A and B are shown apart, each in its own frame.
Chain A
Amino acid sequence: MTVSDETLMLYADGELDSGARAAVENAIAGDATLAARVARYRAERDRLRAAYAPILEEVVPARLLGAIESAPPPRTTTAVDLTGRRAARSMRQRVRDWSWPEWGAIAASLLIGLLVTQLQSSRVDSSLVRLGPEGMVAGRTLETALSKQLASAQSPDAPIHVGVTFENASGQLCRTFTAQGAPSWSGLACFATGEWRLGMAIENPPGSAAQSASNTTRMASSEMPPALLRAVTDQIRGEPLDADAERAARDRGWRR
């Protein structure tokens, strides 16, 4: 049986219906040359896939996420909570100088979605973040830092920098952090049922303050991406904990 190149290509790409597929399979079984040609198509496909796979692993520029976030919201009504607004305002003033122009205001849920994608492709160190049954939780290293480190007394060389500690609307204690490294991460975790659950984590984009120039350039601990700041101001109840309250919370094991 003669089989055209096109038919072989369709076969290799899984585009033939079952009748035509069976006919090609019969022909291949009796003809090593045909089998080799099919193998060639498939090898070519595999090489192309491998060549283009690394692009999927690249960090997505913040502006692309921003393009989605800044789209006009579809007829939503946000509950107005004056207490929350006031707290947010005071918080914003407190951290007015924290800036990170690379990141626009990006919804935490979108960033979490992207992080999950990246976790699945093993781009994220599992000692920092791991996927638990109910979402993302701190891995061993991050957990230790969040549980033990005090923002008021931490080494500037610490691999993980703890930022603000506050109580959220559900009464959980939450802390922001930045994990140094390449890439570095910033995020927000709240303590619940014995573990630190990540409400948000973002990879610092290359070229941002946190990743520019050299490894010796460390991000100042007071810098916080606007997206993270917004997550904090959305969730905070009252004021951030001061140094004494932070120490007391740690000594209570982060339980209220």
Chain B
Amino acid sequence: MNEVERLKRDIVGLIPRLRRFARSLTRHVHDADDIVQLALERALGRLDTWQSGSRLDSWMFTIVRNAWIDEVRARARRGEVGLMDEHADRVPTPVSGVDEALSIQRAMEQLPEGQRSAVLLVLVEGLPYKEAATVLSIPIGTLTSRLARGREALQSVLGDPAGAGP
């Protein structure tokens, strides 16, 4: 298998994680897959710009996020306003049992995109701060403070699960 084929195979393996990140970004299942598709096409068109030795997941996350930023700008130009905040007024549901996952995702959706992406990349995807900051094109200090604010907001919406301490 040559280098390009190996890279393609590795990218295929990342698709589930890219969909997850895109869904957090867009807060919409179909928008998310559209963005992932666009990102895959872009990535495949510039495989030669990927630096071997660097993290492929970070590289792909960056392309996904840039694709979304472009889409949001295009929508703004077309006069489709409010897309970034379509769920902003959603009332959080109480956290319990089987609804836990949904409630957490809803709470995340209420965070500003910068905080939401920081939380997702670091806590869910397990990226080191430095990698997450690169994906979001921000200094590591900004990443840290977004993460702290995002977590605080989540904590206040979700509270503590039973048995997880005070």
B-side contacts of A110, CB under 8 Å: 8-9, 12
Segment with Cβ contacts to B, from A33-41, A128-136, A244-252: A33-41
Contact among B13, B20, B122, B164 for A52, CB-based, below 8 A: B20
- B139 nearest CB across to chain A (Å): 15
| Interface positions of B from 1 to 28, Cβ below 8 Å from A | 1-2, 4-5, 8-9, 11-13, 15-17, 19-20, 23-24
Tell whether, in the assembled complex, residue B9 and residue A67 are in contact, meaning their CB atoms are under 8 Å apart.
Answer: no
User: B158 an interface residue at 8 Å Cβ cutoff?
Assistant: yes
B-side contacts of A51, CB under 8 Å: 100-102, 104-105
Q: How far is A41 from B154 in the complex, measured between Cα atoms in Å?
A: 11
Tell me the nearest residue of chain A to B105, going by C-beta. Answer: A51
- B40 nearest CB across to chain A (Å): 4
User: B79 an interface residue at 8 Å Cβ cutoff?
Assistant: no
B-side contacts of A40, CB under 8 Å: 155, 160, 164-166
Tell me the nearest residue of chain A to B166, going by C-beta. Answer: A36
Contact among B2, B23, B108, B129 for A55, CB-based, below 8 A: B23
Segment with Cβ contacts to B, from A3-11, A92-100, A207-215, A224-232: A3-11
A-side contacts of B135, CB under 8 Å: none
A-side contacts of B161, CB under 8 Å: 43, 47
Q: How far is A174 from B27 in the complex, measured between Cα atoms in Å?
A: 44
Contact among A45, A47, A57, A113 for B12, CB-based, below 8 A: A113
Tell me the nearest residue of chain A to B37, going by C-beta. Answer: A67
Tell whether, in the assembled complex, residue A50 and residue B101 are in contact, meaning their CB atoms are under 8 Å apart.
Answer: yes
Tell whether, in the assembled complex, residue A55 and residue B20 are in contact, meaning their CB atoms are under 8 Å apart.
Answer: yes
- A207 nearest CB across to chain B (Å): 12
User: B63 an interface residue at 8 Å Cβ cutoff?
Assistant: no
Tell whether, in the assembled complex, residue A56 and residue B17 are in contact, meaning their CB atoms are under 8 Å apart.
Answer: yes
Size of B's binding interface in residues, CB under 8 A? 49
Q: Is the interface of A mostly helix, strand, loop or mixed?
A: helix
User: A114 an interface residue at 8 Å Cβ cutoff?
Assistant: yes
| Interface positions of A from 12 to 36, Cβ below 8 Å from B | 13, 15, 36
Q: How far is A114 from B23 in the complex, measured between Cα atoms in Å?
A: 20
B-side contacts of A58, CB under 8 Å: 16, 19
> Per-residue 0/1 for B97-126: is the Cβ within 8 Å of any A Cβ (1 yes, 0 no)?
000111011001000000000011011100
- B143 nearest CB across to chain A (Å): 10
User: B66 an interface residue at 8 Å Cβ cutoff?
Assistant: no
B-side contacts of A44, CB under 8 Å: 123, 151, 154-155, 158
Q: Which residues of B contact A (CB under 8 A)?
A: 1-2, 4-5, 8-9, 11-13, 15-17, 19-20, 23-24, 33, 36-37, 40-41, 44-45, 47, 100-102, 104-105, 108, 119-120, 122-124, 128-129, 144, 147-148, 151, 154-155, 158, 160-161, 164-166
Q: Which residues of A contact B (CB under 8 A)?
A: 5-6, 9-10, 13, 15, 36, 39-41, 43-45, 47-52, 54-58, 60-61, 63-65, 67-68, 71-72, 74, 109-110, 113-114, 117
